[in-house]
Every structure is written in structure tokens, then in C-alpha cells.
Structure 1
Amino acid sequence: MENEQIIRKELADMINKGNAHATFEDAVKNISKENRTKVPEKLPYSLWQLIEHIRIAQWDIIEFCKNPDHQSPEWPKEYWVDNLEPTDEQWNNTLNTIRQDRNDFLEYLADLNNHLYKPFNHGNGQNLLREAMLISDHNAYHTGEIIILRRLLNDWK
């Protein structure tokens, strides 16, 4: 059991901390309002669309883990939003939802009643370990993209 607790802690750190990379919180800190929906040349999406995509995908992964009846959004159409100008409330709600969903998943991951290696009774053999790594990998990839977009918009440190 001790090894499993170590693995759960490492997974939580991968999801919650930057380790070798900037954290999501670092990447989204102080993004200027005027740059939220700008799309840099030759790129397909804005910071708003990218951050909303993180929210939607993370929510989908978490719901898949917890709810055997969960229906994922249609790929790719429902994983990406139109580039409309979000209100400050929408922007803040999205950021807060990403954090809250992540924290809820970390509690789920820490619960020893939720098996790391046993495949879910639904899906195609996925297990909690795989889904935790998927959240970490997906969010780290897009967090890096947020930083690149911010650099292209001259909105990074």
C-alpha cells in the first residue's frame, strides 16, 4: 500500500505542480483582457479558446472516471468554443472551474477506495492511473501553449 500512496502523491504533484514546467496558475496569471481573444498569426485559437478547451477536456476526463453513464462531448466540435469575447465573470468562472475540478479530482485520486490499476467497468480498459496521467499530460501541453501564445502577444514576463 505504501508504494501506491507514493504513486498517488506523485500523480497529484504532476497534476497540481509545475515540476519542470510552469504551473497553469503561472501561465494564466495577469493575462491582459485585450489579449484574451487575439489569435496570433498562423495559429488556430486564442487564449480564451485554449483555456476553455482545458476546462472542457479536464471535466470530461474527470466525469468519465466518476460516472459510468457520462457521455463525452462530440470531438472536436464540442471541445472548442467560438472565439467570442468572454465577460470578466465568464473568464474568472472558467479559471475557477478548472481549479475546482482539478481539486475534486485530486481528492478522488487520493481516495484509496478508487483503484489505480483496475480498469473501470465502463470504457475500453482505462483506469485511474491512466486518466490521472492524461489530465497531467493534456494540461501541461496546453499550459505550454498558453505561454507561447502570451509570448507571441507580448503578454508574458
Structure 2
Amino acid sequence: MEREQQMRKQLMQLLEGGNAHMTFEEVLEDFPLAHINTKPPKTPYSFWHFVEHIRIAQWDILAFIRNPRHVSPNYPEGYRPAPDAVASEAQWQKSIASVQADLEALKKMVHDPGVDLFAPIPHAPGYTVFREVLVAACHNSYHIGEIALMRQVLDLWPEGKKYLTGRPD
């Protein structure tokens, strides 16, 4: 039992960020709303596109675990808004809230001792909740890093937080 508790704790830490990972909240803290639709040079996607991509992918993973009838979006077009799509401030906030809500649902699943993380997902033999949580955490981490780098390139960190960590200099 101790080993299982330790593993769940490690998964929670991976989902929550910290250690070697910036959190979703940290990368978006004090984000200038005037730049939600800004695209860095040679990048077809804006900050909102990246947040929305995290949202869609994480939602897809959660829905895949929960729903045997779930149909994933077509890749790649179903995992991002069109490159010319723009978001309002309300859409930006809705995307952020959805990422956070689905992340909380994944964390609740990991925390629940009634969920066998290593049992095959009934409607998807060969897949486990453990694998899907790792995919979500790694995917989120990768794109959070991209957002951090985009902020750095465009000098969009607030004064006193000028490096990629988003923490005080």
C-alpha cells in the first residue's frame, strides 16, 4: 500500500507542477490581456491557441478515460482553433477555467484509492488511467514551456519576473 500511495503522490506532483515544471497558473500569471491573440514571429499560433490546445487535448484524455463512446477530434485540425481564429477576453478566461477544471478532475481520479490506475480502461484495453495521466501531464508541461518561452521572446513577463520561471528575478 505504501508503494501505491507514493506513486499517487508522485503523479499528483507531476500534475500540479513545481519541482522542474512551471505550473499552468505560473505561466499565465499577470498575462497582458492585450496579447492573448499575439503570435510570436514565425509561429502560426497565438497564446490563446496554445491554451486552447492544452484544453482540448486534456479534455480529450479525460473524456477518453470516462466515456466508452467518446470520439476524439481529428488530428491535428481538431486539437487547435484555426490559425486565424481570435479569442475575446471571455473566451480566454473560459479556456483557462476549463483547463483548470479538467486538471482538477484528473487529480481527483489520481487521488481516489478506488481508481485502479494500472487496470486496463474497460473500453480501451492496452490503455490505463496511469498512462493517460502521464500523457496529460507531459503534454501540459511541454506546452506550458512553450508559452513561457513565447512570453520571454516577446518580453511579456512583468517587471521583476524577466526570466522563464515567471518567478522574481
TM-score (norm 1): 0.94
The separation in 2 between residues aligned to 1:27 and 1:13, in whole angstroms, is 17
Q: Which amino acid aligns with 1:88?
A: E
- 2:93 pairs with 1:92: yes
Q: Provide, for residues 51-105 of structure 1, a one-character-per-residue CA deviation record: whole Å limited to 9, x for no partner.
A: 0000000000011111111111111111010243312211111111111111111
TM-score (norm 2): 0.88
Q: CA deviation at 1:116?
A: 1.2
- 2:117 pairs with 1:81: no
Q: CA deviation at 1:124?
A: 4.9
Unmatched segments (≥5 aa) in structure 1: none
The separation in 2 between residues aligned to 1:66 and 1:113, in whole angstroms, is 14
Q: Percent identity?
A: 38
* Structure 1 residue ranges (4+ consecutive) displaced by more than 3 angstroms after TM superposition: none
Describe the SS at the equivalent of 2:127: coil
Unmatched segments (≥5 aa) in structure 2: 162-169
The 5-angstrom pairing of residues 60-75 of structure 1 reads 60-75=60-75
The 5-angstrom pairing of residues 1-157 of structure 1 reads 1-82=1-82, 83-156=84-157, 157=161
More helix per residue: 1
Q: Which amino acid aligns with 2:4?
A: E
